[in-house]
Structure formats: C-alpha cells, structure tokens
Amino acid sequence: MHCINCGSIDSKDAKFCGACGQVLKQSGDNRERVGYSNKINSPEFARYVKSTYRWSVIFAVLLAVTAIVGFYIYGNTSRDDMNNPQALYIGLAVGGMFLLIALFQIIGRKRSRTWDGCVIDKEIKFKTRRERYGNDEYHMHCYTEYTVVIREDGGRTHDISAEDDDTVYNYYLIGDKVRHHGLSTVSRTDFIRYGLS
C-alpha cells in the first residue's frame, strides 16, 4: 500500500504510514492512488485559487483603466483622427471587453469540477475538410484526428482530440486512471495520469 502523503510503501493491513504517520486508506478507497497526491483538496490550494481570481480581476481593472485613460488622452491630443467623446467611447468599449474576458475566465474555472476517470478507448481517424482560399477557390485539407476517450467514474465520457498531433494519444494507455483538476488554473482539458487500473 502506498501512502498518499509521502509515497512510502507499507503492508496491506497497515492503518498508519510507518514513515510519516499518515492514516492509510484501505484498498478500494478512491483516494488511494499510486502517484497521486490528495493535496489539491487542502485549504491552502483553495486560498491559492481564490487569490488567482482576485489577481485576474485586479489585472483586468488595470487594463480597462489604462485603455480608457489612454483613449481619452488620445482624443484630447489628436487633431485629425479622433476627438472626444468618440475616443472616450472606444476606450470604454475596450475596457469593458477586458473586464468581460476576466469575468468569463473566472466563471469558466468555477464551473469546471474535479473528477476521476479511466481511459476506455483511443481512436485515429483520417479526415478531410473543405477550406476556402480567396474569393471562389476551395482546397481539400487532409488531416489526422487523434482522440482519447475517458469515462468518468460517474459514467459520463469525455473526448480529448487533436489534429495532426499524437502527443496525448501516445501518452495515455487504455486502462490508465486519470484525474481532471477542475479548480486548477490550467485548461479544462488538462488531465493528470496517475497509474494503471
């Protein structure tokens, strides 16, 4: 049995880790996973995520204020191109866009959740699509789509697909246990591989 705190190996019937004293989980407990740390559930990580949200808002506000002030100054100093209030309105629109982007990022991170799953299938498909070049010219683009299919412990499936890039496809093996970290600052499709079933 592996300790989830320090990684030491103890006997199967041990209740505490001989190296660090951590309470050991019995076989079958979802939290006992080789190579996986349960520290993502710690209060320190929750504070880190909250701080990330706060800094995202502060950075967006600074960008918005800079855009508004910059366009206002440009409107006052410009002689030919654009004067106020037109320049100020553009600055307000650009500043509002920065604030909306920060808001959507925070909402997206909060909606994402952490879940465990298992790689159940891998697929390679050779595809073509019609792409437009110029006014009336079209070209058929051939590409390879690599897909890894993961089933959550709750039954829902997720596909990770990439065009002409087999990195993720080659990394995962069917039967691998994976965890999607929903609260992290990485993208929602970032999975951590932590062992075979």
> Is CATH 2.40.50 the right assignment for the domain spanning 115-196?
yes
- Residue in 51, 62, 64, 56 with CA at minimum distance from that of residue 102: 56
Domain edges within the chain:
1-32, 43-111, 115-196
Q: Tokens representing 105?
A: 């990022």
Per-residue pLDDT of the chain (197 residues; tens, 9 = 90+): 556 555 566 666 666 676 666 666 554 444 444 445 566 667 787 787 788 888 889 999 999 999 999 999 998 888 777 888 899 999 999 999 999 998 988 887 777 777 788 899 999 999 999 888 877 888 899 999 999 999 988 889 999 899 999 998 998 888 888 887 765 544 444 555 655 44
CB-CB contact of 118 with 197 (8 Å): yes
For 73, the 3-state DSSP assignment is helix
Q: Which two tokens stand for residue 89?
A: 């309105």
